[in-house]
A and B are shown apart, each in its own frame.
Chain A
Amino acid sequence: MATTTATPASGTLQVISRVAASLLGSWLFVWGLTVLGISLGVWAGADYRQMESLMYLLAFPVFLVVFCWAYAAVSLKRVWLILAGGGTLMTAAAWLLIPSLAA
């Protein structure tokens, strides 16, 4: 199993990076998705609590998909780019939107 898959030279670092991407990267991605989803919903006139419930329902299935993808994807660079990069972008977008919602 594991012994047949990882190349010994860069193996350990690869493994750590992939596990970190699957947990931290995915968390950041889902965080971004959740705050942006709620913010966009409230901006479009939806009720805050409704949007929060909806995003919480979606958060974990999405987390599961990106978590598995973090292991299945061939390019680890792309995994980090999409999860951490995407998460940061969505968080930043929500951060720009929020001040106008609380006014």
Chain B
Amino acid sequence: MFASFRLSMTWMHTWLGLVLGYVLMICFFFGALSVFDREIDRWAIPETRFEPQTLPSFDTLLLPIFERMQPSKESLAQASARIGGKTPQHTSAAGFGAYTTHRDPVLSLFTEYHVTNNPNDPHDHVFGNTTIDPRTGRQLRDDQLKIGSQFFYPLHFSLHLEWLEIGYWLVGIAALVMLAALVSGVVIHRKIFRELFTFRPRKQAQRSALDLHNLTGVVGLPFHFFFALTGLIVFAGIYFPVAHTMLEPVHELHEQRELAAKGLAFEPAGVPAPLASVDAMVAEAKRRWAARGMSGEVGFLSVAHVGDANSYVSVYRAGTDRVTLTGQGIHFKGTTGEVMFEEPPPSTIEGITDFLTGLHLQHFRHWLLRWLYVMGGLAGCACIATGFIFFVEKRKRQHAKTGVSGARWVDAMATTAVTGMVIATVAMLVGNRLLPAELAGRGAWEERIFWFAWLAALLHATWRSAPVQQARISPAWREQCWMIAALCVAAPLLNWITTGDHLIKTLGEGYWPVAGMDLALLASAVIAVLAAGKLRLREMGVARPSATSTDAEAAHA
């Protein structure tokens, strides 16, 4: 099929890169935004614009809230579907959980309830969740969307296509193709070192796009390779679900033995018993972490078998001070508060896995490294986008001559995936500031704005792409850049009008989550205007590309 190894790698790089490139754009762009997901949440939900908080008192503040909580409507609807449309009967809460990070002013609470009328699954559960202001215990409205952590973040690994986990699988294939594209890219280009220093922006679009593709690909290679690989490892249990299929009996046996070794009960005893002071357990956990020389704030706390003699409380440390996923979980007997089991340091293999996953999930406190992640992610986007442009530039003259429309379609899709994606993102933020504060189902409306804006960008790009058929540049790129610029100026202005938090105020107070978002939006507006200007010159043919003998070289790449 292929004449040589290099040609086989070129074929794979070109075609799989093209098809999965659209998915990869989403992964890299929204992955980059996820680095600041909590900060985007602050911008989107103004009532949560205050400093990060530590875990409040469980006994006096959290416990009464947990006891009031109810299963969510979605969870009950899913359970109802599992039992043939009947209304699920459930117990009072059997489990509690609280999660926070060093960047969260708000605290997420979860509850778990046994479903008692599912004959097929005696262990069926429904869940409740809420978000509170930990200073007062006030519950936030649950139809507000945390745009950063509940929309952009899951978008980058699930595409919000939950059915059959198809989004995860598409992202998994895309991550694999990313790895293969890096390997094949190195095989194709060979002169890796020279690519690092080669960028000729004034040459033909084909030449400069390829230069930038190689430059970003080589500079970002370790970053891109690691993120694609660690992303796959994070979801290894989805791509190779061994523990719940073939190896289920071995896995179950192991789980039970492990819990037994820790002294933690797998099932409730069925004997009611009160819960001892959880605050005392948290104090003891902090004392033990301090004794090991680790700074200790609680990241995750859970209570299992609530109200039962077998109840136990697990307290995990928030991982702010190292790359690796921490935990150092300490488990307490719920009825007495005595320590039952303190988790030992991970083995070498688990240590490697925790480090790789921690590298991807970045729970640590290190702002420079966070920004490097954003830059790495955006370099990935630039690499993929220039790959699309190179694909089109290389073929459009040929396609124009022969009347093939392939280049035009790829170009329209590329516009949608690059500028269209940014339009959808910022349109969502603008929508977030324009929708009435009291609108019911506000979050769902914000999501609709995102998808409709993206669809509109696709229609616009398709409609305006006809010039590509004549081997010219589609004006859609430039027009969408102007759209981005307008939206990116509108968002901080609307933020100012609706909340009073203008840049002078937020910068003066040093409130970086909101100041940073506004500055990033304005910077994006500037970049979009500059890009639109450059594109206009190219469209008018003013910047006559200096065609030279190196064009032949470009054609070979």
Q: Using a CB–CB distance below 8 Å, which chain A residues touch chain B?
A: 1-2, 4-7, 14-15, 18-19, 22-23, 30-31, 34-35, 38-39, 42, 47-50, 52-54, 56-57, 59-61, 63-64, 67-68, 71-72, 76, 91, 94-95, 98-99, 101-102
**A5 B350 Cβ-Cβ under 8 A:** no
Q: Kindly state the interface size class of chain B when it binds its partner.
A: 35 or more
Q: Which residues of A contact B251 (CB under 8 A)?
A: 48
Residues of A within 8 A of B246 (CB): 35, 91, 94-95, 98
Task: Judge whether B12 and A64 touch: CB under 8 Å.
Answer: no
**Known A-B contacts A2-B11, A18-B1, A102-B253; A67 and B349 likewise in contact (beta carbons under 8 Å):** no
Q: How far is the CA of A91 from the CA of B10 in the complex (A)?
A: 33
Contact yes or no, A56 B240, CB < 8 A: yes
List residues of chain B with CB within 8 A of the CB of A71: 2, 8-9, 11-12
Per-residue CB proximity of B1-37 to A under 8 Å, as 1/0?
A: 1110101111110111000000000000000000000
Please tell me which one of the listed residues B7, B247, B347 contacts residue A5 in the complex, with CB atoms under 8 A apart: B7
A54 and B349 in contact, given A5-B3, A38-B242 (Cβ under 8 angstroms) = yes
Instruction: Provide the bound-state CA to CA distance between A22 and B8, in Å.
Output: 13
Contacts beyond the supplied A22-B12, A60-B179, A64-B176: 16 A-B pairs with Cβ under 8 Å: A1-B10, A2-B14, A2-B15, A5-B2, A5-B8, A30-B240, A31-B240, A38-B242, A49-B350, A56-B353, A59-B239, A61-B229, A64-B179, A68-B9, A72-B8, A102-B253
Tell me the minimal C-beta distance from A37 to chain B in angstroms.
10
Chain B residues near A68: list those with CB within 8 A: 9, 12, 180, 183-184
- B173 interface residue per 8 A CB criterion: yes
Of the candidates A34, A56, A99, the one whose C-beta lies within 8 Å of that of B233 is A56
**With an 8 A cutoff between CB atoms, is B236 at the interface?**
yes
Q: Dominant SS at the A interface?
A: helix
Query: A101's closest neighbor in chain B, by CB?
Result: B250
Given A35-B242, A60-B176, A98-B247, A14 and B1 contact (CB-CB distance below 8 Å): yes
Once the chains bind, are B232 and A60 in contact (CB under 8 Å)? yes
B179 nearest CB neighbor, chain A only: A64
